[in-house]
């Protein structure tokens, strides 16, 4: 009996030692290496997270999250954009016990240097003034709070005031659970906001990036004039495991991938992060009849005349 007990205790202490040997979350975060997105060997973080690779893997093209400030630097040019002040809403409206939400907010603010998950910017690219907003998935998974929805509405106001197109860089899991029904109202409010932009005949382009789910894809991101996606983005409402458990069926190949959304008409095209800015500008110039549009019209006219000649 004693022997048996001693064996169990010895095994228990061995397990404890092993667990202690494993790297802590902090150690993983501070390490120069990360687990591979492709292949079997660990990857040097600096080979992916740099200005040239723009947080994408050169081997498998996986697109890692691109925080809003980096995104704006890449789109408008380094520090060539103005950060727009967005309304401040009192924290923790439902007063969660133990300040659990307040603590989460404080940690997210410290990690991202943002007040909420959305940042709004106004700047110029190719001589065209453009308003854009981006979601940071490092801020509680990019969840949309009342304050985030207000930031999106502010972006719509700025676009209308300055008569600029509006661009949304959408990623994240949807509305924040800690604000329950209050954050759900943000879905309706943001749809009304972007509709005002459209009523002013200003183009509204949404770009699905990384993973985009829940109330984000089901509100402002889903009603854009043009919908692009960054390569290999996952887009849906409920996550794959929820759908699998509900339907009790195997999911089709490419389920919720950007390629599948293009096939079914929910998305217009997907591009690598390195080329998507130019594609956006081409579309904006055509829509707003600027600069290249004359060349575009010329090409279309010459094509037409060739066709007419051939026909005759």
Cβ-based nearer residue to Zn ion, 37 or 243: 37
Q: Give the H or E element holding residue 223.
A: none
Cα dist. 129→164, 251, 282, 292 in Å? Answer: 6, 43, 14, 16
Q: How far is the CB of 7 from Zn ion (least distance, A)?
A: 44
Q: How far is the CB of 280 from Zn ion (least distance, A)?
A: 25
Q: Give the H or E element holding residue 122.
A: strand 118-125
Q: How far is the CB of 47 from Zn ion (least distance, A)?
A: 10
Q: How far is the CB of 175 from Zn ion (least distance, A)?
A: 31
Cβ-based nearer residue to Zn ion, 48 or 152: 48
Cβ-based nearer residue to Zn ion, 37 or 84: 37
Cβ-based nearer residue to Zn ion, 34 or 37: 37
Residues in contact with Zn ion by CB under 5 A are: 37-38, 57, 59-60, 62
**How many residues are present in the chain?**
312
Tokens 């307040």 locate to 102
Cβ-based nearer residue to Zn ion, 56 or 112: 56
Q: How far is the CB of 142 from Zn ion (least distance, A)?
A: 22
Q: How far apart are CA 89 and CA 183, in angstroms?
A: 12
Cβ-based nearer residue to Zn ion, 61 or 196: 61
Token pair of 27 as six digits:
């150690």
Contact indicator for 114, 83 with CB cutoff of 8 Å: no
User: What does DSSP say about strands 118-125 and 81-83: parallel, antiparallel, or unpaired?
Assistant: antiparallel
Q: How far apart are CA 173 and CA 237, in angstroms?
A: 9
Q: How far is the CB of 259 from Zn ion (least distance, A)?
A: 18
Paired with 207 in beta bridges are 169, 228
φ, ψ of residue 154 to 5 degrees: the values are: -65, -40
């Amino acid at each position: 009996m004693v022997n048996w007990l001693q064996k169990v205790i010895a095994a228990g202490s061995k397990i404890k030692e092993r667990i202690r040997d494993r790297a802590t979350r902090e150690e993983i975060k501070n390490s120069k290496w990360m687990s591979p997105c492709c292949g079997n060997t660990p990857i040097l973080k600096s080979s992916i997270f740099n200005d040239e690779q723009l947080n994408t893997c050169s081997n498998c093209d996986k697109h890692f999250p691109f925080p809003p400030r980096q995104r704006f630097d890449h789109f408008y040019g380094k520090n060539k954009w103005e950060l727009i002040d967005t309304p401040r809403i009192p924290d923790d409206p439902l007063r969660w016990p133990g300040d659990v939400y307040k603590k989460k907010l404080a940690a997210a603010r410290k990690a991202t240097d943002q007040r909420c998950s959305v940042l709004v910017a106004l700047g110029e690219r190719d001589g065209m003034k453009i308003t854009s907003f981006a979601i940071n998935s490092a801020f509680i998974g990019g969840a949309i709070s009342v304050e985030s929805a207000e930031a999106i509405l502010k972006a719509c106001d700025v676009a209308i005031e300055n008569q600029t197109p509006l661009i949304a860089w959408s990623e994240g899991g949807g509305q924040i659970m800690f604000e329950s029904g209050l954050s759900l109202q943000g879905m309706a409010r943001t749809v009304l906001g972007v509709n005002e932009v459209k009523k002013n005949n200003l183009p509204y382009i949404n770009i699905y990036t990384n993973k985009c789910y829940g109330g984000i894809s089901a509100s402002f991101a889903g009603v854009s004039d043009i919908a692009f996606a960054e390569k290999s983005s996952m887009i849906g409402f409920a996550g794959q495991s929820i759908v699998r458990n509900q339907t009790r069926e195997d999911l089709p190949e490419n389920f919720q991938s950007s390629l599948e959304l293009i096939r079914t008409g929910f998305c217009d095209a997907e591009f690598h992060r390195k080329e998507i800015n130019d594609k956006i500008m081409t579309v904006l110039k055509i829509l707003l009849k600027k600069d290249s549009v004359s060349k575009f019209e010329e090409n279309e006219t010459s094509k037409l005349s060739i066709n007419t000649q051939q026909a005759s």
